Amino acid sequence: MRGHQFYEDRPASGLLLMRELWARLSPTLRASRERVGLALLCLLTAKVGLLCIPFLLKALVDGLDTSADQLALQVVLLLVVAYGAARFSNTLFGELRDTLFGRVTEKAMHSIGLQTFRHVHSLDIDYHLNRRTGGLARDIERGTNGISFLLRFFIFNIAPTVFEIVMVAILLLINYGAEYAAVIAVSVFFYGWFSFQATRWRTQYVREVDAADSESNARAVDSLLNYETVKYFNNETFEADRYDASLDVWERARRKNRLSLFALNSGQALIIASSQTLMLGMAAVSVNQDSMTLGDFILISQFMLQLFMPLSFLGFVYREIRGAMANIERLFEVLKETPSLQLKCTNETLAVTDGRIRFADVSFAYTPDNPVLQRFNLEIAGGETVAIVGASGAGKSTLSKLLFRFFDPTKGTVEIDGTDIRSVNLGSVRRAIAVVPQECVLFNDSLRENIRYGRPTATDEEVAEAIEAAYLTDVIERLPDGLESIVGERGLKLSSGERQRVSIARAVLKGAPILVFDEATSSLDSHSEQAVMSALRTLAGRHTALVVAHRLSTVVDADRIVVIAQGTVVEEGTHHDLVEANGQYAELWRVQRE
């Protein structure tokens, strides 16, 4: 699944979805079982109070209608107090229920949100290259909110309303006969049948609205993240037109959704009005024939109000639950994503002693018809600095991705100190490697915290040492707030060269035995480049360094330079030896110098 393929209008098994939801939430619910039990007790107490109200009203009306002596007045006052107490208990225990269970729903949202966050971070780079940030963020938000809604309303609205319907039907059957209970049963049946059918019909429109909402949000976020590119090409109007087109789709989907909702609400209202009219008409005839008291009429009227108000709300809840389940389904589609990287369940960690790296007969292709590396062989000794050079598309950056295990080779092995990196814990492999990428993207935080991100537990003294090693001191002195300066979203308040030096400081702070520089100096000016190269030379003896380079001037001091073309090694040696050999490296060197 990539992009928005999970918006296809395919029926999902509600039972399977609920089973999966229960499996994910049961640990949280079990941990809060006392709180859930108290909430259910409050719910039961509130419903008992609500069922008592019509009987108290009946007794109160009949008492007022039959006698006015002192004793009857005391009874009437007592009934008034009892009616007030029943009303208050219904509200009080309802609020207590919501307060007690609110903590449970918050913990459930916390748990699912954290699971999703961790899972998305566990997915491989291929997923993140294809995802759309805005749409994914919206799906996660709607999914967690849908879980909260489902928990609260399924437990505290659907189940209690069904209980209340059954109790009212039984009470009417016992006290007034089968015809009153039959009206309740038939009207509830038709209401439920119509709501179910109509909601199934309009679920497609809910899906369309959600898909259009995610698409328009993704479009807006994508445009804002690329704000500078929009400005460079003067494409504000173009971006606005594309966003306008997305909003047109959203508007049309909302319109169809609104019209379908109108049809659903109208049908439900007709069923409720017809049943209430019929029930009250029957009661009015009975009162007129003296087979019922005025209090009985009030009791039936109150029961109808109490029953059909939550039943009407139940229609809304059912519609929302269908929408919530569609949102949860999309969230679970994200959670079902599996990385293409095959990870072994092992606690064995990579033990780095010398930092030797070996690519043994490695073949790799991003797509089957486009091979990048073909039986590639390379050995790097511990502490050696090796530069990888070659034309664009030769496979230079792919080597760093394979070493860091963003991908696995289709054939061959990548080894560190003789250990196949696929056979050990992935986290231990990545802890052993510090990468300075071609493009450094920073968090919208202080410069200090962005540097400390290389090792969040580092002390201020260690951060200062990393700053000095990356030649960042002059940059910090120029900033108005020094290390506390906020670098802006993606670090755009800093120049590309300054961001690159922050990236180098992070890598130094990580303290990994293997350093990978992936075109790390490509965006630096000559002065910054020389400063960074001085830092690299300082680090060279203490780390194994793999330097992927396009600018050959940055790697002339490397212990060894490896030239690759079409995924294989074609030359290797020192800068002097390769220039003397007058091969591909010498040609690249001449072109760049000219």
Q: What is the 3-state secondary structure (H, E, C) of 461-504?
A: HHHHHHHHHCCCHHHHHHCCCHHHCECCCECCCCCHHHHHHHHH
Measured between alpha carbons, how far is 33 from 163 in angstroms, rounded to an integer?
22
Q: Residue 428: inside a domain, yes or no?
A: no
Measured between alpha carbons, how far is 79 from 69 in angstroms, rounded to an integer?
15
Instruction: Identify whether residues 53 and 194 lie together within a single domain.
Output: yes
Q: Residue 454: inside a domain, yes or no?
A: yes
Tens-digit pLDDT profile for residues 91-106 = 888 788 778 877 787 7
Q: Which of 370-384, 503-517, 541-555 has the lowest mean pLDDT?
A: 541-555
Tens-digit pLDDT profile for residues 178-209 = 888 888 888 888 887 887 788 778 777 777 88
Measured between alpha carbons, how far is 235 from 396 in angstroms, rounded to an integer?
34
Distance of CA 147 to the CA centre of its chain: 13
Instruction: Identify whether residues 26 and 141 lie together within a single domain.
Output: yes
Is 0.85 surpassed by the pTM of this model?
no
Instruction: Identify whether residues 472 and 323 lie together within a single domain.
Output: no
Phi, psi (deg, nearest 5) at residue 40: -65, -35
Q: Residue 164: inside a domain, yes or no?
A: yes
Q: Residue 271: inside a domain, yes or no?
A: yes
Q: Residue 540: inside a domain, yes or no?
A: no
Instruction: Identify whether residues 331 and 454 lie together within a single domain.
Output: no
- 3-state class (DSSP) for residue 337: coil
Instruction: Identify whether residues 43 and 184 lie together within a single domain.
Output: yes
Q: Residue 319: inside a domain, yes or no?
A: yes
Average pLDDT over residues 371-377: 88
End-to-end CA gap in the chain: 48
pLDDT at 450: 86
Phi, psi (deg, nearest 5) at residue 370: -135, 75
Q: Residue 30: inside a domain, yes or no?
A: yes
CATH number at residue 201: 1.20.1560.10
Cα–Cα nearest to 549, from 579, 527, 526, 516: 516
In the chain, the number of structural domains is 2
Last residue of a domain, one of 511, 544, 572: 511
Type of residue at 561: I
Average pLDDT over residues 16-30: 75
Instruction: Identify whether residues 454 and 325 lie together within a single domain.
Output: no
Tens-digit pLDDT profile for residues 222-267 = 787 777 677 666 778 888 888 888 888 888 888 888 888 888 888 8
- Identify the residue with better confidence: 141 or 387: 387
CATH number at residue 480: 3.40.50.300
Q: Residue 484: inside a domain, yes or no?
A: yes
Last residue of a domain, one of 461, 478, 511: 511
Tens-digit pLDDT profile for residues 41-88 = 888 888 788 888 888 888 877 777 665 554 466 676 777 788 788 888
Q: Which residues form the domain of 196? A: 13-336
Token pair for 337: 């994503």
Last residue of a domain, one of 459, 491, 511: 511
